[in-house]
């Protein structure tokens, strides 16, 4: 790390010659593989932007010239070049370096959301702000992956950016043919055509050789080449891709050629007005295990061997794996089942389904809003769509869920992977909002399985609903231990535990009802065992279907002295709020307490660390409950 360790700011790049920059790129790749192998993270995307990031920081003056990375999972090299090299041992760890850009880490980080397709809108607003505040000479750079360009926000932003002829917005299209998986759709086809065009350097070399063959030498050759050069630099993006926008386009530029990148970025820096620089890169470049990983070229990895890329440990059966099996089984039984995802077939468990039922699988790209309304159209046509996305990404399509699906009472099943606290990917990747958002849609049914067996049951129950939307939400990771129900009520609530003399009006003991959402059933059962040892009657139920609230839960609440809801959704508007409203409507005055994620944006840490931090582990829940019980005992003895 001779060169890399000596860099303290992007300004240090200006003094490096071409060979030193090449050596730096190799050092960065070795460093990336070493550090990400130890912590996990987005390896493939960052290996692909090493030279591009060096060129950006060598030409533009960050932070005065903002560099905004769309989703920013490919910002690791940016972090290295902006003074955070020594923090990489803490990457994605609690209190450590974020896996995305973070405003609290550095003045070079202007944004921090990990949702795609937003960078161009940020850039449009920043350029307008610079123009209005006398800083119009600065450039605003947005690095956008080709996958992100499948999102509608990019096109809305481009429409506005193109109208600002004097605003210096540099749009760098990082074209590697992939998002999580290969980019799909008409955009991908157009980019593929552009990729086949010769690069600027190739055109110039061809022109030079052609002129030499014609006998043009010396100044005559130089003059002719300059004319060719200006013509190449002035080419417009083909009209089939950006009709009528009239934005300047240069490219395709070889994304791992530092000299070509430097020339392109220098031209973009000096150009007055918005410009598109089309850079062709290879995801995972320089690390054979990543390049050869056909699934996603190591888009995101866990801890692994830095030589072979083989994961250090294998996890057990996962929630996603169970869904993958069940949807394929359902499709074998029913030809009306269709599946939709937003550029995430692999991560959401649809890869096998897509292979087995290609005609009934639709990947719409990074376009959650379109995915949901397209699903509505499929339902209107007599099919039962299953929309599989991460919980956090459904946030972007709430209007479509509410008014395009819910209002029409359409049978669309939403399968939300990574629901609740997910951990190391940071604030905007946590799925703590889905319970609050989905449950307010009139007529919706929302389910949260506690284990793999319930996952299978609830998914198939959802597919039987034909008069409105259904939601199935589950967390990230391996399946928990299964818990058998003692009995199931007529309206589908599972009773998991009850004390022998529960709800017998025993005046010497307090009766507590736990309403545990999804896998929190395990925590509720552990705490229940502790409480019973202390002389408390405890009933633990799993509602299975959270919305609407089952009447058996209301009846049970009326027979207990204290009701406690336990969930890892946001506390405001979550399951606790639903239960509170149901009890109030039934005039049940049993005290109710909520244990849920607080009204904050969760920082990056492991799921268990975050849950412990906010009191949602066994110890924290036990402490809270004992505090409430002490108050109840004191009140009852007075």
Residues in binding site for Mg(2+): 146, 176
- Residue 252, preceding peptide bond in cis (omega within 30° of 0): yes
Euclidean distance between CA atoms 181 and 467, whole angstroms: 34
Euclidean distance between CA atoms 399 and 155, whole angstroms: 19
Q: How would you class 269 by CB atoms within 10 Å of its CB: exposed for 0-12, middle for 13-18, buried for 19 or more?
A: middle
Closest CA to 418 of 544, 330, 518, 315: 518
Euclidean distance between CA atoms 233 and 255, whole angstroms: 17
Binding residues for thiamine diphosphate: 73, 114-116, 147-148, 176, 287, 368
Angle, helices 452-463 vs 319-333, to 10°: value is: 40
Q: In what order do the strands lie in the sheet with 67-69?
A: 67-69, 140-145, 169-175, 275-280, 248-254
What backbone phi and psi angles, to 5 degrees, belong to 137?
A: -75, -15
Count other Cβ atoms within 10 Å, centred on residue 271.
16
Euclidean distance between CA atoms 590 and 582, whole angstroms: 12
Catalytic residue among 29, 35, 396, 473: 396
Q: In what order do the strands lie in the sheet with 562-570?
A: 487-488, 494-498, 537-542, 511-516, 562-570, 592-597
Q: In what order do the strands lie in the sheet with 337-341?
A: 361-363, 337-341, 384-390, 413-417, 470-473, 445-447, 545-547
Binding residues: 73, 114-116, 146-148, 176, 287, 368
283: annotated active-site residue: yes
587: annotated active-site residue: no
- Residue 63, preceding peptide bond in cis (omega within 30° of 0): yes
Q: DSSP string covering 37-48, please?
A: HHH-B-HHHHHT
368: annotated active-site residue: yes
CA distances from 554 to 543, 573, 589, 601 (A): 11, 18, 11, 31
Q: Write down how long the chain is.
A: 638
Catalytic residue among 283, 360, 450, 497: 283
Three-class SS state of 407: coil
Count other Cβ atoms within 10 Å, centred on residue 191.
21
Contacts for 229 with CB less than 8 Å, ≥ 6 apart? 204
Catalytic residue among 368, 445, 450, 567: 368
- The single residue listed with the structure tokens 């299964």 is 482
Three-class SS state of 465: coil
- The single residue listed with the structure tokens 């039962």 is 384
Angle at 50 between CA 260 and CA 4, to 5 degrees: 110
CA distances from 389 to 372, 418, 567 (A): 10, 9, 20
Q: Are 384 and 334 a contacting pair, CB within 8 Å? A: yes
Count other Cβ atoms within 10 Å, centred on residue 112.
18
- The single residue listed with the structure tokens 């924290």 is 620
Euclidean distance between CA atoms 53 and 74, whole angstroms: 9
Q: Are 285 and 52 a contacting pair, CB within 8 Å? A: no
Angle, helices 200-213 vs 258-270, to 10°: value is: 100
Q: Are strands 413-417 and 361-363 parallel, antiparallel or unpaired?
A: unpaired
Euclidean distance between CA atoms 449 and 444, whole angstroms: 16
Strand partners, 408: none
Q: What amino acid positions are annotated as catalytic residues?
A: 283, 368, 396
């Amino acid at each position: 790390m001779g060169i890399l360790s000596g860099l303290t700011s992007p300004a240090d790049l200006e003094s490096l010659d071409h060979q030193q920059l090449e050596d730096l790129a190799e050092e960065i790749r070795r460093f990336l593989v070493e550090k990400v192998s130890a912590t996990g993270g987005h390896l493939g995307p960052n290996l692909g932007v090493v030279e591009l990031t060096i060129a950006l920081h060598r030409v533009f003056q960050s932070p005065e010239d903002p560099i905004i990375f769309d989703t920013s999972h490919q910002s690791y090299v940016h972090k290295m070049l902006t003074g955070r090299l020594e923090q990489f041992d803490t990457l994605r760890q609690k209190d450590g370096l974020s896996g995305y850009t973070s405003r609290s880490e550095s003045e070079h980080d202007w944004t921090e959301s990990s949702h795609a397709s937003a960078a161009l809108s940020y850039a449009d607003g920043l350029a307008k702000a610079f123009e209005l505040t006398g800083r119009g000479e600065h450039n605003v750079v947005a690095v956008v992956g080709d996958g992100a360009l499948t999102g509608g926000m990019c096109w809305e932003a481009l429409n506005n950016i193109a109208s600002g002829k004097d605003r210096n917005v540099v749009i760098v299209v990082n074209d590697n043919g992939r998002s999580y998986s290969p980019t799909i759709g008409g955009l991908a086809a157009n980019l593929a055509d552009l990729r086949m065009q010769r690069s600027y350097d190739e055109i110039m070399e061809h022109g030079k050789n052609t002129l030499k063959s014609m006998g043009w030498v010396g100044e005559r050759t130089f003059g002719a080449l300059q004319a060719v050069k200006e013509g190449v630099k002035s080419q417009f993006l083909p009209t089939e891709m950006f009709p009528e926008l009239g934005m300047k386009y240069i490219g395709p530029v070889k994304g791992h050629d530092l000299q070509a990148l430097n020339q392109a970025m220098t031209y973009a820096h000096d150009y007055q007005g918005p410009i598109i620089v089309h850079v062709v890169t290879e995801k995972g470049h320089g690390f054979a295990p990543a390049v050869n990983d056909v699934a996603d070229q190591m888009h995101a990895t866990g801890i692994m061997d830095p030589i072979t890329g083989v994961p250090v440990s294998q996890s057990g059966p996962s929630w996603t794996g169970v869904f993958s099996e069940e949807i394929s089984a359902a499709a074998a039984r029913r030809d009306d089942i269709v599946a939709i995802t937003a550029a995430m077939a692999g991560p959401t468990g649809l890869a096998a389904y897509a292979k087995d039922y290609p005609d009934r699988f639709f990947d719409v790209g990074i376009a959650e809003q379109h995915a949901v309304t397209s699903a509505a159209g499929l339902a209107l046509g007599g099919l039962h769509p299953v929309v599989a996305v991460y919980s956090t990404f459904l946030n972007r399509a709430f209007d479509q869920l509410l008014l395009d699906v819910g209002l029409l009472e359409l049978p669309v099943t939403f399968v939300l992977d990574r629901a609740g606290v997910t951990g190391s990917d940071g604030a905007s990747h946590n799925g703590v909002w889905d319970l609050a958002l989905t449950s307010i849609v009139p007529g919706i049914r929302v389910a949260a399985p506690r284990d793999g067996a319930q996952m299978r049951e609830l998914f198939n129950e959802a597919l039987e609903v034909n008069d409105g939307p259904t939601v199935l939400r589950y967390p990230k990771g391996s399946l928990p231990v299964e818990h058998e129900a003692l009995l199931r009520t007529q309206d589908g609530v599972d009773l998991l535990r009850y004390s022998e003399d529960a709800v017998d009006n025993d005046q010497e003991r307090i009766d507590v009802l736990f309403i545990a959402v999804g896998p929190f059933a395990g925590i509720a059962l552990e705490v229940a065992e502790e409480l019973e040892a202390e002389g408390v009657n405890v009933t633990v139920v799993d509602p299975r279907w959270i919305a609407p609230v089952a009447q058996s839960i209301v009846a049970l609440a009326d027979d207990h002295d204290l009701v406690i809801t336990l969930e890892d959704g946001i506390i405001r508007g979550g399951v606790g709020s639903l239960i509170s409203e149901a009890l109030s409507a039934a005039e049940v005055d049993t005290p109710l307490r909520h244990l849920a994620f607080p009204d904050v944006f969760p920082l990056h840490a492991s799921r268990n660390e975050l849950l412990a931090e906010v009191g949602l582990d066994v110890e924290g829940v036990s402490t809270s409950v004992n505090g409430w019980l002490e108050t109840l005992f004191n009140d009852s003895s007075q």
